[in-house]
Chains A and B, each alone.
Chain A
């Protein structure tokens, strides 16, 4: 699972959960896959992201030095930051780990790089 996907996922489907965001990320095994840097794509993705979850992911991935805690303005002109965001969001691949619902503590496992967001019968 890439950290851009992490930014999209919530646990709001669980019965009784209101926001279910951001999920608590734990990384047991990660991989770094080099991909082509596409500044326009990163830029287009920015409005879809929640910055606090971006920063949270950077902390877990031990890349917090690269990413400011508060979303700076005019990111589009900051090529270096775009590159760092690209690395954080697209190149870090969580192979084994888990996502935890902030409200109920329900754990969603990540296996072989694919998060399993299925809920059990009595949870929905």
Chain B
């Protein structure tokens, strides 16, 4: 049976390296495809894998955002000699392939890709010439070839220690490109409605893949903001809903985030974002609501929940305050009232989020969310857990030197009936103690200290200059003088 399996080269973009395997596994589950002999060097941009057929490979390429392109592998080898030997043997032993792809009527193009080492055009052509045993008989067509061959040399990952010979040499036929064009298509730069914490297109597409969003799914984001996660979910065919506590945000009346923009335009909204990308049909609704209170009917079940909860750094974590007494005469019925909000502790928020997911996901549905961490105190044991949810993926993205956030993917594996909802779940939700406080207060020096130190440093420099008899010059005046002297 395994004789029928074919080998493929997966060429990944070398960013968000930690997310690639999780995406691969998610897509394998989404399409239900099988694979075997996946190469285990996940840091490398080129992976080898065996799929049962080309359709599987195309399915993967049709959704993967991490993938640059996929190739049908002809040969690869650790040394040039071994590589050429294998390629020659492969071509000789597969006459059917030669007929299909090397024929006189098949125009072709060979691309040379060298990773981590630069070669001139001349050197690249020389590399092509080393494969002169290939029975290529069709015409060369650089613009619209029928078949694209790729010759790939991998020269390690470290640009400061390039090995004397390539680590790996690969040759294959281009099958399809990945979905990286979507990153540009959905770029925040050209999106109608964005906010301070809109998720960038690439990560939000990755999240939709982690959530296994399929056409006709109902997808929910309880901290929707400007709907940046809904855009990618809708792009993949999901019907999207959102909720947020921020009335001004959902009505797009908050301050614009673009530096060039003074006021929000009238037609800015999550709906108009979806319209911009041709997904308006899949906009369900957004609701102003406080996540800490129950709102949804017990019957409601979502296919996936994708969300980026506020961590309190750029967006406040808030919920409606619980007050016992209200001052007399502060409110009357015709006055618009905006309830005051109080801090929503991160631990509590995640406990609520997992609990919500356990109630409102279908069995097999996924919760995909970000959790911030101080890197030094991360350990798997501190991840939030819930008896009905199973953690299936966990990828890290560095934020600053000391902080990172992790994309957690949970799958609902069991169900608690609505009648038992009052029973507290057995979850241990103990993410790192208050992330925000430590983020701002636990650095080596406080921001105030740093400012004072910098100011003192500048003052010292100025005094030193004066002591040496140098007159501090105005750089703008200097530039003008220089220009003048050119015309004199």
Contact = CB atoms under 8 A, between A and B. Distances in A.
Contacts of B32: none
A2 B326 contact: no
Interface in A104-124: 111-122, 124
Nearest to B331: A120
Interface residues of B, number: 36
Interface stretch (B157-165, B193-201, B295-303): B295-303
Given A9-B297, A21-B297, A40-B216, A118 B339 contact: yes
Contacts of A112: 251
A50 B216 CA distance: 20
Contacts of A70: none
Given A35-B280, A50-B299, A112-B251, A120 B285 contact: no
Given A2-B285, A121-B340, A13 B216 contact: no
Contacts of A4: 284-285
Interface string B280-308: 11001111111001111101110000000
Interface stretch (B119-127, B140-148, B170-178, B239-247): B239-247
B293 A13 contact: yes
A2 B271 CA distance: 13
Contacts of A124: 290, 293, 320, 322
A1 interface: yes
B288 A35 contact: no
A10 interface: yes
Contacts of B285: 1-2, 4-5, 113-115
Contacts of B324: 122
B110 interface: no
Given A10-B295, A111-B251, A118 B300 contact: no
> Which secondary structure dominates chain B's binding surface?
loop
B296 A8 contact: yes
B339 A121 contact: yes
Contacts of B321: 121
B8 to A, nearest CB: 32
Contacts of B65: none
B294 A118 contact: no
A111 B288 CA distance: 10
Contacts of B296: 8-10
Contacts of A2: 284-285
Contacts of A49: 299
A107 to B, nearest CB: 10
Contacts of A44: 216, 218
A112 B323 CA distance: 29
Given A10-B294, A122-B324, 15 more contacts: A1-B287, A5-B284, A5-B287, A7-B297, A9-B287, A12-B294, A12-B295, A13-B290, A38-B216, A38-B281, A50-B297, A114-B250, A116-B247, A121-B320, A122-B323
26 contacts: A2-B284, A2-B285, A4-B285, A5-B285, A9-B295, A10-B295, A10-B296, A10-B297, A12-B295, A38-B216, A41-B216, A44-B216, A44-B218, A48-B218, A50-B299, A114-B288, A115-B285, A117-B287, A117-B295, A118-B288, A118-B290, A118-B339, A121-B321, A121-B323, A124-B293, A124-B320
